[in-house]
Amino acid sequence: MLSRHQDPIVAIATAPGRGAVGIVRVSGRGLDRLVQALCGKALAPRVASYGPLRDADGGAIDHGLALHFPAPHSYTGEDVLELQAHGGPVVLQLLLARCLAAAAEIDPATGQPRLPGLRLAQPGEFTERAFLNDKIDLAQAEAIADLIDASTEAAARSASRSLAGEFSREVGELREALIHLRMLVEATLDFPEEEIDFLQKADAQGQLDRLQLRLGQVMQRTRQGALLREGIKVVIAGQPNAGKSSLLNALAGAELAIVTPIAGTTRDVVQQTIQIEGVPLHVIDTAGLREGEGIDEVERIGIARAWGQIEGADAVLLLHDLTRIGQPEYDAAEREIAATLESRLPARVPVIDVWNKADAGQALAPLATAGLEPLAGHAPHEQLRLSAKTGAGLDLLRKRLLELAGWQGGGEGLYIARERHVQALRQVGEHLELSALHLAQQAQSLDLLAEELRLAQNALNQITGAFSSDDLLGVIFSSFCIGK
């Protein structure tokens, strides 16, 4: 454990600004003397005590609740003191400053500082200590941040399940099965004359098959959980006045983007996160795509940003105006956009051709009418007909966006997950596939089999932090808020 993890820490644990209640939290070892200085008395463990929270002269900074959680029965596993006062920023800053000053003061009874080394906590340091003191594992620690940041009800409920340890239990079951298989293989290496019979009698192949099947089930739920957390980025693109801003407003159910008949009204990126069945979709409205004269510098920058968003999208809604299909100038511009998409859009990104303004009574024109051919190396465009004005066809579009995201429904019972968890499980799967190849070769590759199983366990351990580099921990906990 690093030396900084031995320091006592303090922070304001509630969000900045005014509120009914604010909390100052202290964590460390041996807080009794600090408690006496701040509260004027000892506190019963885990019992809220109301009274003055004292300054250096014994006067009251505020009256509030004080709670003392002796180690190890606390959030961090260390002694924890929580001061709950009125939630004004000045009051909380005064309490924070008093904690730091009181910790440095010499205690008359001992002749020593009350709490040597007390310092301001770094972002996420309280939760980091909970992890280091085995109160939670790494996946549970991440679930705390995910619960705070959840953008949908489904994501919040799933984060709560991860925090309760459901995801960690799934990973733990995989680890136990993997360790048991490793034990069998390692044992055979010590008795080479019996290794093949030993593995066959222990059903090593069957154990590996069941392990791969179980891994596939966990990966499927993990991908769904990651989708609940991350969502997908959907970019609405197309020519000016095709109805992009109207479609964003219709999907969001609010007037977020300005809509006018004037070409080039949208000059910059407008983004809104919506939820469909609890899945967050980050929908981005972009400037109309066009070339030629009559484009000022501001609109040109907006168009460049639009292409940047398109290149980084998870899905593109390519909007067409049914009322203008067949007009030579409009069709020519459509062909230019299609050609640029072919050169700049990654092949993995799906494109949905959305034929807007169906309320105008126009028939759905075939792709050939506008000169739109499937992009080389891309799947053929899907076609949907709708009206952003009346809402007709929006439900079908929402359903298709969920399908493109890979959502399979049934959010109840899912746990939240992160992309790094998905990647770690994918690595486990790759090592198990190689393990199966080596097991098939029997005696010739048992040492390689043992190594692949070891690497699979290492990848699995990255999820819960059974062992992990300090760099990984730093990245994870630095994203937390101070006081958590």
Q: What is the rounded CA–CA span in Å between residue 484 and residue 193? A: 56
CATH (domain of 50): 3.30.1360.120
Dihedral pair phi/psi, residue 232, rounded to 5°: -135, 155
357 a known binding residue? yes
3-state secondary structure of 272: strand
195 and 303 inside one domain: no
Determine the 3-state secondary structure of 52 from DSSP.
strand
Q: 290 phi and psi, to 5 degrees? A: -160, 160
pLDDT score recorded for residue 257: 44
Q: Is 263 annotated as a binding residue?
A: yes
- Identify whether residues 254 and 339 lie together within a single domain: yes
CB atoms within 10 A of CB 181: 25
Whether 287 has a binding-site annotation, put simply, is yes
Residue 418 is assigned to a ligand binding site: no
The answer to whether 399 is a known ligand-binding residue is no
Read off the pLDDT of residues 207-229 as tens digits, 9 standing for 90 and up. Answer: 999 999 999 999 988 988 988 88
Q: Looking at residue 406, what is its pLDDT?
A: 82
What pLDDT does residue 402 have?
Answer: 87
Per residue in 422-476, pLDDT tens? 999 999 999 999 999 988 887 667 889 889 999 999 999 999 987 544 544 555 5
DSSP-derived secondary structure for 339-399: HHHHHHS-TTS-EEEEEE-GGG------HHHHT--PPTTSPPPEEEE--TTT-TTHHHHHH
Instruction: Check residue 221 and give left, alpha or beta (phi > 0: left; psi -120 to 50: alpha).
Output: alpha
Structure tokens at 68: 């003392």
Residue 265, annotated ligand binder? yes
Q: Is residue 143 part of a domain?
A: no
Residue 244, marked binder: yes
Average pLDDT estimate for 51-57: 94
pTM greater than 0.85: no
Q: What is the pLDDT of residues 96-125, one digit of tens each?
A: 999 999 999 998 888 999 999 999 999 999
Angle at 282 between CA 227 and CA 425, to 5 degrees: 20
- 142 found inside a domain: no
> Which residue, of 97, 115, 136, is where some domain finishes?
136
Whether 277 and 353 share a structural domain:
yes
The answer to whether residue 367 scores a pLDDT higher than 50 is no
240 pLDDT tier (thresholds 50, 70, 90): confident
- Give 216 or 270, the one with higher predicted confidence: 216
Please check if 406 is assigned to a binding site: no
| The last residue of a domain, from among 136, 162, 188 | 136
- Residue 453's identity, in one-letter code, is L
> Is residue 127 part of an annotated ligand binding site?
no
Pair 106, 219 in one domain: no
Q: Do both 304 and 257 map to the same domain?
A: yes
Task: For residues 8 and 86, state if they share a domain.
Answer: yes
> Where is the domain boundary, 103, 136, 169?
136
* Contact in structure between 406 and 223 (CB atoms under 8 Å): yes
Kindly state whether residues 286 and 153 are assigned to the same domain: no
**Whether pLDDT at 418 is above 50:** yes
pLDDT grade, residue 477 (50/70/90)? low
* Residue 470 falls inside a structural domain: no
The pLDDT mean for the chain works out to: 84
The answer to whether 252 and 272 are in contact (CB under 8 A) is yes
Residue 483 lies in a domain: no
Please indicate if the annotation marks 233 as binding a ligand. no
Contact criterion met (CB below 8 Å) for 280 and 273: yes
- Domain span at residue 33 reads 3-136
Is residue 356 domain-shared with residue 457, that is, in the same domain?
A: no
Is 260 within any annotated ligand binding site? yes
| Domain co-membership, 273 together with 377 | yes
- SS3 state at 66: strand
Question: Was 154 annotated as part of a binding site?
Answer: no
- What pLDDT is recorded for position 478? 65
Please state the rounded mean pLDDT for residues 289-313: 78
- Output the domain CATH number for residue 295: 3.40.50.300
User: For the purposes of burial, counting CB atoms within 10 Å of the CB of 41, is it exposed (0-12), middle (13-18) or buried (19 or more)?
Assistant: exposed
In a domain, 364, yes or no: yes
Q: Across 152-156, 265-269, 436-440, which has the greatest mean pLDDT?
A: 436-440
266 carries a ligand binding annotation: yes
Q: Is 238 annotated as a binding residue?
A: no
Stretch among 84-98, 358-372, 460-474 having the lowest mean pLDDT:
358-372
Judgement on whether residues 43 and 171 belong to the same structural domain of the protein: no
For residue 45, list its beta bridge partners.
68
351 and 297 in a common domain: yes
How far CA 238 is from CA of 3, 172, 293, in Å, comes to 56, 48, 18
- 22 among annotated binding-site residues: no
Contacts of 475 (CB under 8 A, 6+ apart): none
Beta carbons of 281 and 245 less than 8 angstroms apart: no
Across the range 291-317, mean pLDDT stands at: 79
pLDDT of residue 468: 47
Residue 232 bridge partners (DSSP): 281
Q: What is the CATH number of the domain that holds 457?
A: 1.20.120.430
Domain assignment present for residue 413? The answer is: no
Q: 356 labelled as ligand-binding?
A: yes
150 is in an annotated binding site: no
Tell me if 412 is assigned to some domain: no
What per-residue confidence (pLDDT) applies to 273?
A: 85
How many domains is the chain built from?
A: 3
Residue count of the chain: 484
Distance (Å, whole) CA 287 – CA 303: 5
Looking at the predicted structure, is the pLDDT value of residue 392 above 80? yes
pLDDT computed for residue 14 by the predictor: 93
* Residue 250 and residue 389 share a domain: yes
Residues 6+ apart with CB under 8 A from 264: 240, 287, 288, 290, 295, 299
User: Is 484 contained in some domain?
Assistant: no
- What sign does the CA torsion over 18, 152, 353, 378 have? positive
